[in-house]
Structures are given as structure tokens and as C-alpha cells.
Structure 1
Amino acid sequence: MLTYFLIILPTLFLAYILFSYVQELKYKRKPYYKLSDIGWQHSQPDADARVVHAVAMLGDVGAIATDGTDPVLQMLETWQQDNPTNSTVLFLGDNLYPIGLPPEGNRHRQLAEDRLNVLLDHFKGFGGQGIFISGNHDWMKGRKGGYQQMLLQQNYVLEHGSENVLYLPENGCLGPVTVQLAEGLLLLVLNTQWWVQRGEKPLGKKDGCPHESLNDFYAHLNQLLRQNRHQRILIAAHHPLYSNALHGGKFTVKQHIFPLTAAHKRFYIPLPIFGSIYPFYRQLFGAHEDMAHRKYKKMRRRLLRIFHRYNNIIYVAGHDHNLQHFEVQQNHYLVSGSGSKTAFVKKGGRATFTLEQLGFFTLNYYDNGEVWIEARINSAEEKGGLVVFRKKLESILQPQLA
């Protein structure tokens, strides 16, 4: 019996770990497609259809290179040249790593300014618009004092950006803020960091926000969605509502065996079994930025309860550093968080498409009413990025209600 426990069980455990690791390597940095979407290359928009409005959705660009060599920004520049007007660029939060825009004198200040300036330069002479949304790193990684740190970034963007640049929702409010992108296409922006932020956060007229309570916010959100059933609604936020990656509780075998790599990528100190405590904790209870955390869970549950009443919603977020698409109850949920970093994403589950590569999602709204999304990744062959996924978003638009 003792031999069984000392030899056979560890051998089985190691065999399982090795098998899981090999399976992960098979699709690491390779696209996963749901069976029904394997033939996506054969699906194309009508050749006679005209793009009414185009949207580029970039999350977590906070670690971009500032010397002109950044591959994602080069892709964005080509996309802007192809869509010089009637277009919107969304930065989905975590615009600056590691702690947003710190005060003058902080050692991270100059690099943060340089990165913001590079982003803002993309809108000089651009006929479209740019919209910045804040994420947890922009709120000083969710710590106390993050509210003031986020305001520093907002004010810098509005002061140094051109007239076609917005920072939404302003003043760190919950939202929802709406922007009519085109007839039949409405953008709705939420500040999901508000729910999970520790310390001070704005609420009510005293802070320049429209709602005095969360219940007021939810009532207003539902009212907006109900009044706009007749058009497509693109909801932009930082935190995803579905994810097959870290913040959705998905961990790699490496993270179980070498848990200290979560603190630094070079800390390869093997801690088998004990190393699983950290991943299991984040799966069950979660850090403040994980879906398993009680505040995040409460936000997600309440938002989905409202969204599931409708079938004309496209929800896009960043936060996890990869590209993902989910279709749930006729609504579409995107993760477009690989603007400057990449991280493991698990295949399968409810996901239609997943990929761990630098890139971003785009959305095209056509004059025939169709909406198409594309996932583009960095490629030496394609200046504007290689399209690795395309999908027409089906939905049944409902008439406007009084």
C-alpha cells in the first residue's frame, strides 16, 4: 500500500501533468475555432455593400513601444489609412502600465507621457474619432488613490489630445454614456472598474455623475437598451463578461508547477501541488480583477441579467491579453486585450474563437444593415494585420418601443 502511494500515484500525477502540458502546447498561440466556424474564410460581406462606420477595438495597449516600431500601432495606422472617416478607435482600458499616469516626479511619469503622446498622435489629422476608456491599471491597479490617478490620465488626454479624442465615461463615473456612431449603430460605454475599485470612487451629482445609486444606474441602462432595440448596440468596457483566460479562472500547467512566474516571468521555481494553491484560490475566490471575486461576480451577474433580455448587443472588453469571441443568447461578447501583451487562453467551452497573439478586433457596419467582426494579428506579410477570424453577427432587431 505504501509503495502504491509513494510510486504509482506520483507517476500518474506526473503523467497527467505531462499530457496536459503537451495538449496546451498544441494550440498555444494557434487559433481555436468552434466547429461551426471552421470555414470562416469562405464567409465574406456582400461585395456591393458599403461600410457606413468602422470600429477598431484595442485593449491593454499600456506597454506599447514609443520608437515607432510597435507592431500593433503599425497595424492601427494602416487601418486608419483604410478608414480615414466615419470610423472610431476604442482604447479599452489599461492604457498605461504599470500604474496609469502617475503624478509629476514619479519614476514612471515620463514613459507614461511618452506612451500617451504616441497614442494621441494617431488622431492628429485623422477624420475619425478616438475614445479612451479606463482600466484597473489606469486606476493605479485598483488600489486606494486610483480615482485621482485616473483623473490625471483623463485630464492629460483631454488637454493634449485633438478635438476628435474623448475620455469616457468622464470623471470616473459609471456611465452609461452613448455615442451615435451611425444611423442604426449606437456605442454605449461603461466604466466597469468602478465596481471592483477599492477606496474612493465617484457617485452622484456631488462628483459630477448622473446617478445617485447603483439601482438608478441599472434602471437607466435597461431603459437605454429597451429604447434602442431597433439598432445595433456596441457596448465597450474594460472587464469581460466571458473569458477563457486568467481573469476567467483558466490557468496553465506551468502556472500550477511554477506559480511564482505570476510575480515575475523568470521565477521558475518548481512548487508542484503547493503551487496549485494560488490558481485554485483565484478560481474559487479571485483577486479583485477576477470574475470569481465577489464584486466582479455581482457586477457580471447583474449586467448579464439585463443584457440577456435583448439580442442586438455586441459587448467588447480587454483585460485578458488575448483575442476571444463568445456568442451567448444571440448576443456577442469579445475580448480584445492583446494590444501590447499576450497571455494564455484556453480553447473550447462557450468560446467560438480564441487566440493568444498581438492584435485587435475590428467591426464593420454596412449600409445593408450587416455587422461583421474581424480579428487581426501582427504579420510580416500583411501590413494591416492578418485576418484570422471573420464573422457576420446575426441578430433579430426588435422595433423601438415607446
Structure 2
Amino acid sequence: MLLYFLIILPSLFAVFLLFSYWQEWKYRRKPYYKLADVGWRQTPLPPASGKLFSLAMLGDVGAVATDGTDPVLKIFEQWQQANSDAGMSVFLGDNIYPVGLPPEGHRHRALAESRLQTILKQLQQYKTDTIFLSGNHDWNKGRPDGYQYMLRQEAYITEALGSKDTYLPHNGCPGPVALQLADSLLLVIINTQWWVQRGEKPLGSNYNCPYSDIEEFYIELNSLLRRNRHQRIIVAAHHPLYSNALHGGKFTIKQHLFPLTAAHKRFLIPLPILGSLYPFYRKFWGASEDMSHKRYKRMRKRLLQIFHRYQNIIYVAGHDHNLQHFEKRGNHYLVSGSGSKTSFVKKGGSATFTLEQPGFVVLNYYQSGEIWLEVHVTPLANTDTTPDLVIFRKKLESIVVPQQQPV
């Protein structure tokens, strides 16, 4: 019996870990499709002449290459060229790594400015209508002085693009901000970093925010959605409400066995069992940027309570560095956070699509009222040319109440 516990059980456990690791390695960079969506390539698209508007949603672009070789910016350029007349790009936060835009003289300032200028110059070249949101890295990784970092970035971007409405919500307020993109298509922007931010964060007339109690935000958001039940509504934010990745508490077997790789990928020191403490902490208690953290959990619960009352919402976020799609109670929840980095995403579960690959999602709106999701990615192999690959396409169904009311 003692031999059984000392040899056989550990051996079986080791075999299980090795098999799990092999499965993760084999499928890690391959797309996962829900069974009903496996044949997505055979689904016919509406005619191109009927496309009214296109939204490119790019998250976590803050580590783009500044030498003109960035693969995501190359396929984004192709989208810009194809949608110059009726298109808008939305940057979903974490626009500059590692700590947003520091003050002059800071050791990260030159790199931060170079990365941001790379993006802004491309936007200026094509005169692309654009909105930037802020994420936790733009607020100095959520540190108490992050509000000043965000204001500095907002001023820099709005001056470069010549409009204060290119960075929303204004002044770091929670939102919501509504923009009519086309007939029956509404974009709503919220600043989810406000809820998880430590230290100073704006609220009330002293900060030029429209209300002084955060409960008024939820009342206004619900009222906005109710007044526009006849429209298709796209909600843009930084933090996802559903995720099969790190911020949703999902980790690889390698991260359990080699937890020090979270600090540096070369720290391959095996710490079985002990190494699971860090993933379990992130899953059940969480850092401030994780769904399991009390502030994030409270925000997520309140937002979902409101969204679940409607069936015409597409919620798009970044934060996790991968591409994901979920369908919940008649609404759609997307993660588009692989604008400059990629990280593990778990297959299956309640997701209909997942992929760890550089890229972004596009939402195309047609005269018929249909919205089609397209996931645009870069090739994994290095090539002289960078074709824009669509790795997944799906019509995002919804139930829209036929009533006409203004925004």
C-alpha cells in the first residue's frame, strides 16, 4: 500500500501532467471553434455593396514595433485602406506599455512616445476616425498616481489627432458615452479602469464628470440601453466580462509547474504543487486586474445585471492578449487584446471561438441590419508580405425590439 502511494500515484500524476502539457502545446496556437461554427467558411456573406459601416477593435497595442515592421499595424493598414469612407478604429486600452505615458525625463518616456507616435502617424496618414480608451497600463498599471498618467496620454493623443473626442470618456470619467455610427448602430464607451483603479479617480463636477455618485452611472447606462432597444449596440471597454485566459483565472500546466516564468520566461525552475499557489491565488482572489478581485468582481456583476436585460448588445474588450468570442443570453462578448502581445487562452468551455495569435476583431454592419464579426490575424510565419487573414467570421444574431426612440 505504501509503495502504491509513493510510486504509482506520483507516476500517474506525472503522466497526466505530461499529457496535458502535450495537449496544450499541440493546440495552443490553433483556433478553437464551437462545433456549430466549424463550417464558418461556407456561410455566405451579405453583398459587399450593402456594407454601411466597419469597426476595427484593437486592444493592447502598447508594444508595437516602431521600425515599420509591426505585423498587426500592417493588416490594420489594409483595413484602413478598405474602409476609408465608412469606418472607425477603436483602441481598447493599454495603448502604451509598460506604464502608459510617463512625464518628461522618465526612463520609459522615449520608448512610450515612440510607440504611440508609430500608431498616431499611421492614423494621421489615412485620416482614420479613431477613439482611444484607457486600460490599466495607461493608468501606470493601476498605481495611485495613474490618473495623472492617463490625463497626460489623453492630452497627447487629442492634440495629435486634433479632436478632444478621440479619447473617451473625457478626463477619465466612467462614462457612458454614446456615439451614433450609422442608422440603428450605436457605440457606447465605458471606462472600466475607473472601478479597479487605486488612488485618485475622477467623479463629480470637480473633475467635469456628469455625476457625483457611481450609482448614477448604472442608472444612466440602463436608461441609455432601454431608450435604444431598437438599435444594435456595441459597448467598448478595456476589461472583459467573460474570458478563458489569465485574467479569467485560466493557466497552463507549464505555469503550474514553472511559476517563476511569470517573472521571466527563462526561469524554468520546476516547483510542482508549490507552483500552483500563484495560479490558484490569481483564480480565486486575484490581482486588481483579475476578474476574481473584489473590485473587478463587483463591477462585472453590476454590468452583467444590466446587460442581461437586453438582447441587442455586443461587448468588446481587450486586457487578455488573445482573441475570444462568447454568446450569453442573446448578447455577444468579445476579447480583442492581441494587438501587440499574445498569451495563453483555454479552449472550449463557454467560448465559441478562441485563438492565441496577433490580430484584432472587425465588426461590419450591413443595410440588412446584420452585424458580422471578422477576426483578422497575422500569419504565424514570417513573410515579406503580410496578408490580412480572416480566421473566423460569424453573423452576430440578436433580438431587437422594433421601437423608434432617440439616443
Q: Structure 2 length normalisation: TM-score?
A: 0.96
Deviation at 1:19, TM superposition (A): 1.4
> Where in structure 2 are there 5+ consecutive unaligned residues?
none
Change in 2 beyond 3 A, CA 1:371/1:322: same
Q: Does 1:352 align with 2:348?
A: no
- Matched with 2:47 is 47
> Partner of 2:126: helix, strand, or coil?
coil
Residues 260-299 of structure 1 mapped to structure 2, 5 A cutoff:
260-299=260-299
Deviation at 1:115, TM superposition (A): 1.0
Q: Does 1:392 align with 2:395?
A: yes
Q: Does 1:222 align with 2:222?
A: yes
Deviation at 1:162, TM superposition (A): 3.7
Instruction: Name the aligned partner's letter for residue 43 of structure 1.
Output: T
- Matched with 1:306 is 306
Give me the whole-angstrom Cα distance separating, in 1, the residues matched to 2:160 and 2:101: 14
- Matched with 1:77 is 77
Give me the whole-angstrom Cα distance separating, in 2, the residues matched to 1:294 and 1:12: 37
Deviation at 1:119, TM superposition (A): 1.1
Instruction: Name the aligned partner's letter for residue 92 of structure 1.
Output: L
How far does the alpha carbon of each residue in 1:138-157 deviate from its partner, in whole angstroms, 9 at most, with x for none? 00101110011111111111
Give me the whole-angstrom Cα distance separating, in 1, the residues matched to 2:199 and 2:251: 29
- Matched with 1:167 is 167
> Partner of 1:275: helix, strand, or coil?
helix
Give me the whole-angstrom Cα distance separating, in 1, the residues matched to 2:233 and 2:128: 19
Give me the whole-angstrom Cα distance separating, in 2, the residues matched to 1:44 and 1:146: 47
Instruction: Name the aligned partner's letter for residue 347 of structure 1.
Output: K
> Partner of 1:345: helix, strand, or coil?
coil
How far does the alpha carbon of each residue in 1:253-297 deviate from its partner, in whole angstroms, 9 at most, with x for none? 000001011111111111111000000111111111111111111
Give me the whole-angstrom Cα distance separating, in 1, the residues matched to 2:115 and 2:16: 44
Give me the whole-angstrom Cα distance separating, in 2, the residues matched to 1:393 and 1:224: 21
Q: Does 1:62 align with 2:65?
A: no
Residues 3-402 of structure 1 mapped to structure 2, 5 A cutoff:
3-47=3-47, 49-163=49-163, 166-379=166-379, 380=383, 383-400=386-403
The percent of aligned pairs where both chains have the same amino acid is 64
Give me the whole-angstrom Cα distance separating, in 2, the residues matched to 1:220 and 1:49: 36
Deviation at 1:159, TM superposition (A): 1.4
Give me the whole-angstrom Cα distance separating, in 2, the residues matched to 1:243 and 1:275: 23
Q: Quick check: 1:248–1:291 contact (8 Å CA) kept in 2?
A: yes
How far does the alpha carbon of each residue in 1:36-74 deviate from its partner, in whole angstroms, 9 at most, with x for none? 000100113222652111010100000000110000001
Q: Quick check: 1:54–1:364 contact (8 Å CA) kept in 2?
A: yes
Give me the whole-angstrom Cα distance separating, in 2, the residues matched to 1:320 and 1:399: 35
Change in 2 beyond 3 A, CA 1:249/1:48: closer
> Partner of 1:117: helix, strand, or coil?
helix
Deviation at 1:164, TM superposition (A): 8.9
Deviation at 1:206, TM superposition (A): 1.1
Paired residues in the alignment total 402
Instruction: Name the aligned partner's letter for residue 315 of structure 1.
Output: Y
Give me the whole-angstrom Cα distance separating, in 1, the residues matched to 2:48 and 2:198: 51
Deviates more, 1:122-131 or 1:137-146: 122-131
> Partner of 2:340: helix, strand, or coil?
coil
> Where in structure 1 are there 5+ consecutive unaligned residues?
none
Alpha carbon RMSD of aligned pairs, Å?
Answer: 1.4
